[in-house]
Amino acid sequence: MFNRSNQQNLTLMKETEQLFNELRQEIINNHEGVHEGTMMSSPGIQYNKKNFTFYYRQAVAFRVGRDFEPESEGIHDYSLLNPFKNKPPLKDWFIIGPEYRDKWPLLAEIALQKISKGK
């Protein structure tokens, strides 16, 4: 049975993915060498064929590096990317939910800067 809660979840999912798609297009339009890509079968953003940001489970994953401190950007609710059952999380990748969507452009820029400098 499809209830109101399911409909609200679907709407939130579509809105979150749309926000990511808008972010992706903005980053691609503003930076040479940046293209659409995929990571883990999800839409992403690449620089020189290396992913630095992608849509992940109704949130966005950013490869901002191990030294990144989310709290310094006012982000207090996040997780590390952990796609494997028997391996530790990927410490360079932070998952940031839609409640911090206003931070996504900054985080994408930080991730692009890190990957473009080879760090």
The total number of structural domains in the chain stands at: 1
Q: pTM of the full predicted structure?
A: 0.86
What would the pLDDT profile of 90-109 be if each residue is shown by its tens digit?
A: 999 999 999 999 999 999 99
Per-residue pLDDT at 35 exceeds 60:
yes
Please give the single-letter amino acid code of residue 116.
S
Q: Residue 73 belongs to a domain with what CATH number?
A: 3.30.1460
Domain hosting 56: range is 4-116
Q: In what order do the strands lie in the sheet with 78-81?
A: 34-39, 42-47, 50-56, 59-63, 90-96, 78-81
pLDDT, average across residues 10-28: 86
Q: What is the predicted pLDDT for the residue at 2?
A: 45
